[in-house]
A and B are shown apart, each in its own frame.
Chain A
Amino acid sequence: MSYDHERLAQLLAALPPAPRGWVEAAQELPLVRPRIDEIVTRAEADAEFRARAVTDLEAALAAEGYEADEALLRALRTRLRSY
């Protein structure tokens, strides 16, 4: 296959970086996964906690004593978005 400069430019431009926060959250998945599972299980079993988590996740986690970093928050928001 032939690649002139114009074609290379178009293909290079087709893959801009994903937002750094998204990438870092995905990279931390193995570390935060046990906590995610624990919190999601709790949210599924406890309607009141679930409602608070959906409304204000950081406050709900803080009230329950969870330390929530950015990776955990992003992953949890994704999981809880369907509620």
Chain B
Amino acid sequence: MSALPTDAQLVARCRGGDHDAWRALVERFSRYVHAIATQAFRLADHDAEDVFQEVFARTYEHLDRLRSDEAIRPWLAQLTRRLCIDRLRAGRREEPATDPIEEGAADAEIERLDEALLVHDALTSLGEGCREILDRFFARDESYRAIGAALDIPPGTVASRISRCLDKLRAKLEGRNGGSAPSGDR
């Protein structure tokens, strides 16, 4: 199995006009950008979608001007953060009575999402079986029954498989030694 490209490799390929690399880069960071907008800043769906599209549009425009290809993740986080704050401030001009923007709380949440991205990257490097079952159960909030039906396994064995896969994921995370692989690794 070939290793996933690093963030820097993906950025370099995007800059060279590789559309598949761009698709992969969007896929890699889509959850992260979405979570910053909806969880850290709690934007409404239509505002979150605008921010999401704007983040990737600006990223595409600025690929040539990134200070470092490895720094795409923090760059995306900062850009998303700034656009979310702009969006909230614009909303407050229209509705001044709304609550103040709690940037400190949002930044703490972004730190948590950074760690979640690291875990998600480790998940991506596990086998397809574990990746699928853990993502379906925890990130997509699917039931044992739905997972069993989708993966063609008895619902009664889903829990034990999830537990085994969590053990593998834990071993992966605790055994890693700081190489520079995809996104969350730093």
Contacts and interface: CB of A to CB of B under 8 A. Distances in A.
Interface stretch (A14-22, A42-50, A59-67): A14-22
Interface string B111-142: 01101110110010000000000110011110
A12 B53 contact: no
B170 interface: yes
A11 B120 CA distance: 8
Contacts of B88: none
B115 A22 contact: no
Contacts of B117: 15
A74 B49 contact: yes
A2 B174 contact: yes
B68 interface: no
A33 B31 contact: no
Contact of A13 (B52, B139, B163): B139
A30 B141 contact: no
A62 to B, nearest CB: 22
B35 interface: yes
Q: How large is the interface on A (under 10, 10 to 19, 20 to 34, 35 or more residues)?
A: 20 to 34
A5 B166 CA distance: 6
Contacts of A26: 26, 30, 52-53, 56-57
Contact of A14 (B26, B113, B123, B166): B113
Interface string B25-69: 011001111110001000000000110111011001000000000
Given A11-B112, A14-B113, 18 more contacts: A3-B119, A8-B169, A11-B116, A12-B135, A15-B139, A17-B30, A17-B31, A17-B139, A18-B31, A18-B33, A22-B34, A22-B52, A23-B26, A23-B30, A26-B26, A26-B53, A27-B23, A78-B53
